[in-house]
Structure 1
Amino acid sequence: MSECLGTYLVVRLFGALSIGFSDGSQLRIPGGRQKALVALLASAPDMRRNRAWLIDKLWSDSDPVRGRANLRQLLHAVKQTFGAEFQDLFEVATDTIGLRPGCVELRGNPEDGELLEGFDLAQEGFEDWLRDQRQSVAGRAALFAQSVPQPTQTVLPRIVVWPFGEIAQAARSGIGDALAHEITSGFARSQLIDAISHFSARAVADGHGAPMSSADSLKADYAVTGQCRQINDSLTVSVTLYDLTAQRAIWSDTHKIGFRGFLAGDDTLVGHVVGQSLRLIMSRSVAASVTIPLPRLQAHSLMMSGVSLMHAFEYPYFRRAEAQLREVARRCRGHSEPLAWLAQWHLLRVFQKWSPDPEEDRRQARAAIAAALDLNPVCPLSLAIDGNIHTILYGDFESAARRFSAAQAINPSSAMINHLASVLATFRGEGTEAVRLTERAYALSPRDPRQPFFQTLSAGSYVVGGRYGQAVEMAEASLRRNPNHLSAHRCRVIGLQLGGREVEARTAAAELLLVDPGLTVSNYLRDHPAGQSDLGNRLGDALKKAGIPAN
């Protein structure tokens, strides 16, 4: 309590909620929301919460304008309750509200009783948060874990794209700088890597490709650079990807494209450079995770490896991803992304029928995504995965739509968010919207390393959109890389049957039963989020006609 010059606040969260001062006096706080506000702030990792997050928990049904007004009124009431101590104990900013950690002491532990035992606030958001915290042993322990100094680690690798050198006519066009800007934007849209701002890279570069040593000032792990040679309408681009830790080039290639086409928006080159670079970085991370013990691997390598393995749809690889993501979450406790990916891992284990206890995996998914959003309630990846969980595990399409809307408002250029939002539109039977989101996602990241997984999601969109030929093409492309992906098999069967290719559909159905021998139409409809809708009946009927047993 050395940071606090006067009386400090003492809060007990386990057992009955208790709020008092260090001199032993108890604080009489009128109203459940004032108490809930203190409890929500005290339980945050840094004792600070985003205003929007607090509004969602304390006034779950309010519109944003009314919610903000309610929060202002509540803060005024809290000021009156705490009096002169308010300024010493609370930190109020435009977007956040917090307690001063140096002026607050948390006492007690889970052995004292249930978290906020006997406390009740009839708001859906608060009740969901409290239930998730009570169910999550890890979440409860984290509230009172001793603070262990951790080395500063980044969750994602950092990449810098230097302005490309310019030769011949390109020297007068500025194409090298424009190309670097587009490639940087491509990396940023992937959400798999931290792309250092183009303006920062340009400030460090000398205009003809910066030396590798200058990357130290930007703390980059990888760098992309190259040269452009323009002769009339022909543009030749050489590109090299460097591993800056190893101080060596790991990929190099040369491309010829039309100069006018590039200026008109042809981004095939950009998509290729971004996609190939990400594939190499991910594959190297996976390879390192096999040969190097987890404690010796950098957190960002573990993160890339875990995300890659969880989308491989081969169970031995998939199983390894969990340990890697948990290790990243343990090391990087202030980051929401590892927890969000861990939630997605549990979702996929249920959906792929690999879970020995689906209810436990559902609980783990909910607890992980709740913890992620507690850390950062405006993380677009966490919001999107929460939307995916509400879509697939709970069939709560309205809540899912709100999560996706929030995620897209923050980051409208994320391919991942658009792909996951397309699943919601698919299950709602909104074919046109599902296809629109799918095609926008591909435009944003045309050569994403997770493409086989995204192809399966796209196959579902095309089925509901009535574009059965494209649905089959996408499903078969996914199965060439991930032959055990059950959803891709199902989309292939349904696309063939609804597209009038009944003989091929029966062959595909027989192949589906080889990888999912217990599948019946009745359990498919039971487990499908849209199983009780007209869409579910249409999909189930297609499976039945193709040869999947009814019961």
Structure 2
Amino acid sequence: MQQHEHNTIHRWTDFVGTVTREILPRHQGVLVKSLGDGLLVRFETVLNAASAAHAMHRAAARQNAGFPSDQHFHLRAGLNAAFAWCDAQDVYGTGINLAARLATLAGPGETIAGMSAYMELAAALAGLGQPGETIGNAAARDALTNGIDATCEDLGDCFLKHFDMPVRAYRLGPASPQPYLTGRRDYGRPMAPTIAVVPFEARSDTRAYLDVGNLIADGVICRLSKAVNLKVVSRLSTAAFRNRPDLAAQVSDVLNATYVLTGSYVADGDRVLVSAELCQASNNQVIWARRSSGSVGDLLAPDSELTSRIAQEVHTAIFETEVEQIRTQPLPCLESYSLLLGSIALMHRSNKQDFLQTRTLLDELINRHNRMAAPHALLGNWFILRLTRGWSEDRVQEAAEALRATRAALDRDPSDALALATEGFVHCHLLKDLEVARQRCDQAINVNPSHALGWLYRGTIQAFLGQSDAAVEATRRALELSPLDPHRYYFESLGATAELSAHRYESAERLARASLALNRMHSSTWRVLTIALVHQGRMDEAREAVRNVRHLEPNLTVDSYLARMPNADLDTGRDWARCLAAAGLPRGR
């Protein structure tokens, strides 16, 4: 505006002239006042008001032709159906204020309509609009015929400035490319993809084996249902799709599934050969396929090796697919579940650039789902990992930001187990307050006794405190509760820490090596392995392990290790630092 003031004023006066000369007479509207960058207009009917708003949007779009995008004019319109008091100078009533507020809810080129019969509702509906939107209330919407006079989209109850109660609002016409509000149905879109497992088909008609396909599906569903970041459809809903052609498309349409797992089997005696494939329902693309063999008896076991293996590989394939989406698609084109799974996966990658990209993904998730606790809690966890990897630049500032994130999560849901557990680890690693940290993790477990991360973090804190038996019990419980976690290496690494505190050095070594088999770039695991080897007197292997620590963290010394560890002044911290020094980690700079 300041850079093109003369041109802007000229274009606005031209637009107002078009409105007063052409649009308002056509739709029986009366201009009450021009506000410099807005108009207040009254109509006798909602239909006339909506039609006039649509005509104004079109007039503004025509006027934008030939100008660069940063000089475009866009209207935000708010409609309200209400009584008003009028005289020769103005119109009066609280409904006027409501219309203005509704306009603030509109996106560029949109119209928002409110529900109340009062003028204050009209003002609120205008507040719902962004530039180019028309917003209307329920009373206004009821006067329109959907699909003929206007398309109406329910935006739900909206909170407006200076209004104590929420106002029901509707978007008239299509959403703009930059809507301020997404449709009511979009706010409820899950941040977890849905997978449908269809009972596997028999490749022979031997009646004795007809239920094997159900057994395979049941076992995979049971295993996948333990994954907290997936929604799994019941077999009772997927059974009807078995043996149907074009199966993935049908399942996607009817069950709204993101992924569809199908397969077939051949049984001979106690042996069974299973072929399985996982499709992305949106494009019917196969993203994973495998042939596996096992026994029919195994399928009857609660922890079937065959179905567990299929479920694990399917779970991994889904995460890898979503990471690929993150790498190849712009943020606005990504589903929220892609952002969620992608951020969880990249947060634990060894590459620093991948880790930093996670912050961008979480910020986008928070922007889309600001009222949900999970994205804020994950952001708090991001700060913890940033510190434990030695990438923190300002411990005090990042502690404050991490607490701000977990507080935001708990403000939205005080009983969110992830937020409570994460805040516990913030108090542990960033604030070094182990007692408060333990209390937060206890709260998380009380809220959700099956919350794996709550058990994992509590066990780690107990390990630091030297409460060794409780630490081992808690971390083992965490591993049992999260068999498909994409970050199993992290669970095994912290489990190894708990075993160290209990002086179970062989168990600590076993878990550390299992963790390193999944992720060799996690420095903390190499430190745990070093300490376990020193305590077993295997110094050559310990020195080799500490060389890996120094490769991953070239600036790490015993002093800097103690400076960041929450148990530095406790027996566990002093013992672990001594072992690292004995293996060759430098004392100081």
State the partner residue of 2:549.
512
> Which residue does the alignment assign to 2:466?
429
Go from structure 1 to structure 2 and tell me whether the alpha carbon gap of 1:430 and 1:335 turns closer, same or farther (over 3 Å shift).
same
Per-residue deviation, 1:222: 0.6
Select which of 368, 373, 378 maps to 2:410.
373
Q: Secondary structure at the match of 1:192?
A: coil
Q: Deviations for 1:393-418, whole angstroms, at most 9, x for unmatched residues?
A: 23333433343334334544444444
Q: Is the Cα–Cα contact under 8 Å of residues 227 and 482 in structure 2 kept in the other structure?
A: yes
Structure 1 residue 107 displacement after superposition = 8.2
Residue aligned with 1:266, SS:
coil
> Paired residue for 2:199?
163
1:493 maps onto 2:530 in alignment = yes
**Are 1:245 and 2:278 an aligned pair?**
no
Secondary structure of the residue aligned to 1:449 is: coil
Residue 447 of structure 1 and its aligned partner are, at CA, apart by: 4.7
Q: State the alpha-carbon separation in 2 of the partners of residues 373 and 442 from structure 1.
A: 25
Q: Cα–Cα, structure 1 residues 328 and 290, in superposed 2: closer, same or farther, change >3 Å?
A: same
State the AA in 1 paired with 2:501.
V
Change (3 A) 1:550 1:369: same
Output the amino acid matched with 1:163.
P
Give the total of aligned pairs: 423
Per the normalisation by structure 2, the TM-score is 0.64
Deviation at 1:477, TM superposition (A): 4.2
Distance 2:301 2:518 in 1: 33
Equivalent residue runs for 1:458-497 within 5 Å: 458-497=495-534
Q: Which segment is superposed worse, 529-538 or 477-486?
A: 477-486
1:445 shift after superposition: 3.8
Q: Note closer, same or farther for the CA distance 1:245–1:421 as it changes in structure 2 (3 Å cut).
A: farther
Distance 1:260 1:408, change over 3 A: farther
Show the counterpart of 2:419.
382
SS in 2 for 1:349: helix
Q: Encode CA deviations 1:79-129: one digit per residue, 9 max, x unaligned.
A: xxxxxxxxxxxxxxxxxxxxx977985589xxxxxxxxxxxxxxxxxxxxx
* Runs of 5+ consecutive residues of structure 2 not aligned to the other structure: 1-78, 83-93, 96-155, 165-178
Deviation at residue 536 of structure 1 after TM alignment: 1.4
Instruction: Provide the secondary structure at the position in 1 that maps to 2:195.
Output: strand
Partner in structure 2 of residue 334 of structure 1? 371
Residue in 1 that maps onto 2:362: 325
Deviations 1:294-347 (A, max 9, x none): 111222112211111110122011111111121122112232222221111111
One-letter amino acid matched to 1:544? A
Q: Distance in 1 between matches of 2:158 and 2:323?
A: 41
Q: How does 1:21-36 map to 2 (within 5 A)?
A: none
Distance 2:319 2:334 in 1: 14
The residue that corresponds to 2:169 in the other structure is none
1:448 matched to 2:485? The reply is: yes
Q: After the TM superposition, which residues 107-506 of structure 1 pair with which residues of structure 2 at under 5 Å, given as runs?
A: 148-149=181-182, 151-152=186-187, 153-166=189-202, 174-202=211-239, 204-206=240-242, 211-212=247-248, 213-506=250-543
What secondary structure is seen at the aligned counterpart in 2 of 1:423? helix
1:3–1:102: 8 Å Cα contact kept in structure 2? no
Deviation at 1:171, TM superposition (A): 5.5
Q: Which amino acid aligns with 2:272?
A: L
Per-residue Cα deviation, 1:426-484 (whole angstroms, up to 9, x for no partner): 22323333333333333344453222333322221222233323323433444455444
Deviations 1:358-412 (A, max 9, x none): 2222112111111112222233322322232233223333433343334334544
Q: CA deviation at 1:169?
A: 5.9
Distance 1:373 1:492, change over 3 A: same
Distance 1:188 1:506, change over 3 A: same
Larger radius of gyration: 2
- C-alpha distance in 2 between matches for 1:437 and 1:546: 29
* Contact 2:509–2:533 (Cα < 8 Å) also in 1: yes
Amino acid at match of 1:399: V
Q: Deviations over 1:476-532 (max 9, x none)?
A: 444455444221121121111112212221232233223323323233223211221
Q: For residues 42-99 of structure 1, what are the alpha-carbon distances to aligned partners after superposition, in whole Å with 9 as ceiling and x for unaligned?
A: xxxxxxxxxxxxxxxxxxxxxxxxxxxxxxxxxxxxxxxxxxxxxxxxxxxxxxxxxx
Shift, 1:264, TM fit? 3.0
Write the distance in 2 (CA, Å) between the matches of 1:282 and 1:399: 34
Deviation sequence 1:166-219 (CA, Å, 0-9, x none) = 5556756744334323322322322222223444444x5458899221332221
Tell me, yes or no, if the aligned pair for 1:431 and 1:461 is still in contact at 8 Å.
yes
Give the secondary-structure state (helix, strand or coil) at the position aligned to 2:225. helix
* Cα deviation 1:6-47 (Å, max 9, x = unaligned): x99xxxxxxxxxxxxxxxxxxxxxxxxxxxxxxxxxxxxxxx
CA distance in 2, matches of 1:103, 1:196: 35
Distance 1:154 1:442 in 2: 26
1:165 maps to amino acid? E
Q: Which amino acid aligns with 1:424?
A: I
For residue 537 of structure 2, give the secondary structure of its aligned residue in structure 1.
coil
Cα deviation, residue 545, structure 1: 1.8
Deviates more, 1:523-532 or 1:494-503: 523-532
Structure 1 residue 525 corresponds to structure 2 residue 540: no
Cα 1:474–1:278 change in 2 (3 A) is same
Would you say the 8 A contact 1:164–1:209 is kept in 2? Answer: no
**Cα contact 2:530–2:543 (8 A) shared by 1:** yes
Question: Are the counterparts in 2 of residues 155 and 338 from structure 1 also a CA contact under 8 Å?
Answer: no
Letter in 2 for 1:519: L
Of 158-167 and 293-302, deviating more is 158-167
Contact 1:282/1:305 (<8 A) preserved: yes
Distance 1:375 1:484 in 2: 35
Relative to 1, partners in 2 of residues 1:537 and 1:225: Cα closer, same or farther, differing over 3 Å? same
Equivalent residue of 1:190, what SS? Answer: coil
* C-alpha spacing 1:185/1:409, structure 2 compared with 1 (3 Å): farther
Contact 1:155 1:332 in 2 (8 A): no
Q: Higher mean Cα deviation, 479-488 or 357-366?
A: 479-488
| AA of the residue aligned to 1:345 | W
Equivalents in 2 of 1:437, 1:235: separation in Å? Answer: 38
Question: 3-state DSSP class of the match of 1:535?
Answer: helix
Question: Residue 164 of structure 1 aligns to which amino acid in structure 2?
Answer: F
Structure 2 CA distance for partners of 1:483 and 1:3, relative to 1, 3 Å: farther
- Change over 3 Å in CA distance of 1:189–1:548 after alignment to 2: same
Change (3 A) 1:102 1:262: closer
- Look up the equivalent residue of 2:193 and give its one-letter code: P
Give SS of 1:160's match.
strand
